[in-house]
């Protein structure tokens, strides 16, 4: 047990004899009624046992002794949670418990074993609030220490722990005269003590403690009508209650850390209290509290700071008017990783859009925050004698300073010293713009799986003029049509104050409906022409579009009907694969050597929320003893489901829309192509390793669609490089003639073989070393890896790395 046991007052022999008088006889009687043994279990309340009517007829004194007997049982044996209910049923209000009873219960609990059912806490917690302040005076140190221990105890079941903390807190408050319940805003996190110190006497003002207790008593995300009526009464009666609610939530929104479960429950009630206010400031505060609750530490993105509060606040925020709820929920839809919170955000956005007549995709589009930036992606502000500019450069936000129109390299010392608040605000803005850029890139790329069509004005304002979205939209291919049947592709071009779409020859296309171009809807000739155009003009797209892979259904997939095995039976480096899954917006449980951890189903929504893909993968057992982390996983089926109301219904492969199918399969191909052990050149010689056969088979396999696109990109890039006369592009390989040897680089895995005996060459090349060569997209790291290896091998006589040189000598 904890330190509280050392603070217990002595229990005299006389008091012990008084408490235990008749206890043995009553113990036998209550056991006979309940037919109890140490492992007995009641599936429902003991009050439903027929024999309990006999116990209810017992005198209060006999029920007192029975409660004490059951307390001793709970503290001395591994008993079920049913004893919690038994003790509560016996310890009714008319039972005359004494200070000696409480002290005896505490000593029994201290001397016995502590079990996670919390039954040993029930009786002491029930007795303590019934005693007078004088009877409790010398017990306060022990009760306070016990309560503190319970606050930090995550092994005891939540319900009995909360009940014990609340009841013990009432006893402590009675003895100390404290107005603010000690069970609220306790030291279980840093938030509670901080707001107690900051708000001081405001928290103890007349009516406020009662209001806070009522808020903490809300058991579910949705409040009942009865609970709300009482809330309204307390908000009126509490002195400054509404202001306290706002100050507490404002402090939490700025807290930026996880809170204790008890605090989370209190905050959940507080957001309901705030929701009774309909002004704009209340909406903004509710939005900030929602964001704060749904946020999570970077190293544990699936665990929000206050998940209970987040779930309730999301629903309340969606019911309010204005742009703030829309933008807040849209941002959370792409940043939240917790499955429960994220699903509620999606539901809230759908409901919000339905009330305003928008689809979910349109809701997300309209909600993109511009952060006050102008159409040029800049916000300028005067800070002392300097001009500060927050601007988007490429796909990043940055803060720069200038004086008298002369740009400065860093932050001026005067700004750091005299304008600290302005600097903090501007840096915060840069961080927020950066977060929006990341989420918008993911959202815009997700449009490729939708059949969205925009009017020309909506397309211009939402996807080109917007300072954040336009960063991506202005570098993408779009199609326009005046009749909805014949579509012509082109690139956006500024035309006076507006935009037009121009073809490859620079001719403006007629204004009409607009949709995002996808190679799956284009002819091979058109795709190749646009690829050549991008390379020739030096345009870098934010993600693969013209060079995007297309995945068509195969006869084998039509035969399996409900699933695809196209990417099954690969061995992936699990931690890297899991990180990439999450980066691409897939939700998956983490694999591990625990019950239910040997299989995971990663899911992602496509087609504007109408379709869901599932990628099944399994843990590959590690043969090393005493190693519990997951190093590898194996891939399995890809399945699809259609959204049907509130459920997902399994779908046949042939029913999946082509854009949804190709986008989902592209992601899975990416996971395999990037994280397969076949892409690791250091796997070439691992002796008897059980994955060696897979590595050798996959490292030289036929090219997947992603590798085929990579080959096409290389065919256009290599003639522009200085090594053009030293390379030849074959079906699966890039052949490089060095000054010492000739090499073949596999276009899928990036692995190198030396001619003439096909000996493997292990080179872990630094990515991105391709000189000044322009790449038409940035989201294929293998392309840059292959090019950097080719550049190195073309000048193999200048290699100085001893590891590489030793391999080259062995090949001579």
Q: Average pLDDT, stretch 324-349? A: 88
Record the pTM: 0.68
Asked if 318 contacts 351 with a C-beta cutoff of 8 angstroms, the reply is: yes
CA-based radius of gyration for the chain: 34
What was the pLDDT predicted at 37?
A: 38
Question: At residue 782, does pLDDT exceed 70?
Answer: yes
What was the pLDDT predicted at 700?
A: 65
Helices (H), 256-370: 261-274, 280-294, 307-318, 323-335, 339-356, 360-366
Q: Measure the CA–CA gap between 17 and 456, rounded to whole angstroms.
A: 90
- Parallel, antiparallel, or unpaired for β 378-383 and 386-393? antiparallel
Residue with tokens 């049509």: 481
168 CB-near residues (< 8 Å, 6+ apart):
124, 125, 128, 143, 146, 147, 150, 183
pLDDT digits (tens, 9 = 90+) for 668-691: 988 988 888 876 655 544 445 556
What was the pLDDT predicted at 228?
A: 96
Asked if 648 contacts 642 with a C-beta cutoff of 8 angstroms, the reply is: yes
What was the pLDDT predicted at 361?
A: 85
Distances (CA, A) of 418 to 384, 408, 430, 540, 611: 8, 18, 20, 41, 54
- Parallel, antiparallel, or unpaired for β 632-644 and 563-564? antiparallel
Q: Measure the CA–CA gap between 139 and 146, rounded to whole angstroms.
A: 11
Vertex 476: Cα angle to 473 and 481 (nearest 5): 95
Smallest CA-to-CA distance from 89 within 31, 46, 60, 54 is with 46
Q: Average pLDDT, stretch 347-360? A: 86
What was the pLDDT predicted at 692?
A: 63
pLDDT digits (tens, 9 = 90+) for 548-557: 989 999 999 9
Helices (H), 605-690: 658-675
Q: Average pLDDT, stretch 573-589? A: 89
Least confident of 344-353, 388-397, 558-567: 344-353
Asked if 439 contacts 335 with a C-beta cutoff of 8 angstroms, the reply is: yes
Question: At residue 748, does pLDDT exceed 90?
Answer: no
What was the pLDDT predicted at 38?
A: 39
- Parallel, antiparallel, or unpaired for β 647-650 and 727-729? unpaired
398 CB-near residues (< 8 Å, 6+ apart):
390, 391, 430
Q: Residue 121's pLDDT band (boundaries 50, 70, 90)?
A: confident
pLDDT digits (tens, 9 = 90+) for 413-452: 999 999 999 999 999 999 999 989 998 999 999 999 999 9
What was the pLDDT predicted at 806?
A: 79
Q: Residue 114's pLDDT band (boundaries 50, 70, 90)?
A: low
pLDDT digits (tens, 9 = 90+) for 383-408: 999 999 999 998 899 999 999 989 99
What was the pLDDT predicted at 120?
A: 81
Question: At residue 264, does pLDDT exceed 50?
Answer: yes
What was the pLDDT predicted at 2?
A: 52
**Stretch (H or E) spanning 192:** helix 191-199
Q: Average pLDDT, stretch 520-543? A: 92
């Amino acid at each position: 047990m904890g330190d509280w046991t050392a603070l217990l007052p002595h229990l005299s022999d006389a008091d012990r004899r008084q408490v235990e008088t008749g206890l043995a006889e009553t113990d036998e009687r209550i056991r006979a009624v309940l037919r109890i043994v140490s492992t007995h279990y009641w599936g429902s309340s003991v009050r439903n046992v027929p024999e309990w009517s006999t116990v209810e007829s017992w005198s209060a004194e006999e029920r007192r002794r029975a409660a004490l007997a059951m307390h001793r049982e709970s503290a001395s044996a591994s008993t079920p949670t049913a004893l919690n209910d038994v003790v509560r049923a016996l310890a009714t209000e008319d039972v005359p418990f004494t200070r000696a009873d409480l002290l005896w219960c505490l000593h029994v609990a201290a001397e016995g074993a502590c079990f996670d059912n919390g039954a040993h806490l029930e009786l002491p917690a029930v007795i303590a609030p019934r005693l007078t302040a004088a009877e409790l005076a010398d017990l306060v140190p022990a009760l306070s220490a016990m309560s503190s221990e319970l606050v930090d105890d995550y092994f005891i079941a939540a319900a009995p722990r909360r009940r014990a903390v609340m009841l013990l807190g009432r006893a402590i408050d009675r003895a100390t005269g404290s107005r603010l319940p000690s069970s609220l805003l306790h030291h279980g996190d840093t938030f509670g003590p901080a707001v107690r110190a900051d708000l001081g006497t405001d928290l103890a003002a007349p009516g406020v403690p009662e209001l806070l207790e009522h808020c903490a008593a809300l058991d579910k995300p949705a409040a009942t009508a009865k609970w709300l009526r009482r809330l309204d009464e307390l908000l009126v009666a509490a002195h400054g209650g509404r202001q306290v609610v706002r100050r507490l939530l404002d402090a939490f929104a700025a807290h930026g850390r996880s809170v204790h479960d008890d605090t989370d429950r209190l905050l959940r009630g507080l957001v309901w209290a705030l929701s009774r206010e309909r002004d704009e400031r209340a909406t903004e505060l509710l939005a900030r509290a929602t964001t704060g609750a749904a946020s999570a530490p970077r190293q544990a993105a699936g665990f929000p700071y206050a998940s209970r509060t987040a779930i309730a606040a999301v629903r309340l925020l969606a019911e309010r008017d204005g742009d703030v709820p829309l933008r807040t929920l849209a941002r959370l839809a792409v940043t939240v990783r917790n499955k429960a919170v994220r699903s509620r955000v999606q539901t809230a956005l759908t409901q919000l859009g339905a009330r305003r007549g928008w689809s979910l995709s349109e809701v997300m589009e309209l909600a993109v925050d511009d952060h006050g930036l102008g159409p040029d992606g800049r916000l300028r502000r005067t800070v002392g004698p300097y001009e500060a500019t927050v601007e988007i450069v490429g796909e990043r936000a940055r803060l720069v300073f200038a004086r008298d129109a002369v740009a400065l390299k860093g932050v001026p010392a005067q700004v750091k010293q005299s304008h600290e608040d302005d600097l903090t605000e501007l840096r915060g803005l840069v961080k927020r713009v950066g977060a929006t850029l990341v989420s918008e890139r993911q959202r815009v790329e997700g449009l490729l799986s939708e059949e969205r069509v925009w009017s020309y004005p909506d397309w211009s304002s939402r996807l080109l003029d917007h300072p954040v979205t336009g960063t991506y939209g202005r570098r993408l291919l779009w199609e326009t049509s005046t009749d909805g049947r014949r579509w012509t592709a082109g690139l956006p071009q500024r035309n006076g104050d507006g935009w037009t779409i121009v073809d490859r020859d620079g001719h403006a296309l007629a204004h009409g409906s607009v949709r995002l171009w996808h190679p799956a809807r284009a002819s091979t000739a058109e795709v190749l022409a646009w690829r050549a155009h991008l390379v020739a003009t030096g345009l870098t797209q934010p993600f693969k579009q013209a060079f995007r892979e297309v995945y068509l259904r195969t006869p084998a997939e039509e035969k399996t009907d409900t699933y695809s095995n196209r990417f099954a039976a690969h061995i992936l480096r699990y931690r890297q694969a899991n990180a990439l899954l999450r980066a691409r917006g897939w939700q998956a449980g983490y694999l591990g050597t625990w019950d239910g951890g040997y299989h995971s189903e990663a899911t992602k929504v496509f087609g504007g929320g109408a379709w869901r893909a599932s990628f099944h993968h399994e843990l590959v057992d590690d043969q090393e003893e005493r190693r519990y982390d997951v190093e590898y996983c194996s891939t399995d089926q890809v399945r699809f489901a259609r959204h049907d109301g509130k459920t997902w219904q399994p779908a046949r492969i042939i029913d999946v829309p082509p854009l949804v199918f190709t986008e989902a399969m592209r992601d899975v191909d990416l996971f395999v192509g990037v994280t397969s052990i076949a892409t690791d050149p250091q796997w070439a010689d691992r002796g008897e390793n059980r994955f060696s056969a897979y590595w050798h088979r996959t490292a030289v396999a036929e090219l997947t669609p992603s590798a085929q696109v990579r080959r096409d990109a290389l065919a256009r890039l290599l003639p522009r490089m200085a090594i053009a006369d030293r390379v030849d592009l074959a079906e699966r390989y890039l052949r490089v003639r060095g000054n010492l040897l000739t090499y073949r680089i596999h276009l899928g895995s990036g692995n190198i073989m030396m001619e003439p005996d096909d000996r493997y060459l292990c080179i872990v090349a630094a990515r991105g070393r391709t000189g000044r060569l322009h790449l038409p997209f940035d989201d294929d790291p293998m392309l840059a890896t292959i090019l950097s290896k080719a550049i190195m091998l073309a000048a193999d006589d200048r290699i100085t790395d001893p590891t590489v040189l030793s391999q080259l000598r062995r090949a001579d």
